[in-house]
Amino acid sequence: MSAAMKILSGTAHPELADRICSYLGVNRSDATVNPFPNGETFVKLNENVRGNDVYIVQPTCPPTNHNIMELLIMVDAARRASADRITAVIPFFGYARQDRKDQPRVPITAKLVANLLSAAGVQRVLTIDLHAGQIQGFFDIPVDHLYAAPVIIRYLKQKGLHGDNVVVVSPDVGGIKMTHSFSKSLGSDFAIVAKARRSATEVEALNVIGEVEGRDVLLVDDMTETAGTLTAAANLLKERGAKRIFAGVSHAILNELALRRLEESSIEELICTNSTPMAYGPRVTTLCVAEILGEAIRRIHNGESVSSLFDIR
List residues with catalytic annotation. 195
Tally Cβ neighbours within 10 Å of residue 241: 12
User: Phi first, then psi: what are they for 130, rounded to 5°?
Assistant: -60, 145
89 close to 71: Cβ distance less than 8 angstroms:
no
Q: Cis peptide leading into 63, omega within 30 of 0?
A: yes
Which residues lie across from 190 on neighbouring strands? 168
- The contacts of residue 307 (CB under 8 Å, 6+ apart) are none
Tally Cβ neighbours within 10 Å of residue 10: 24
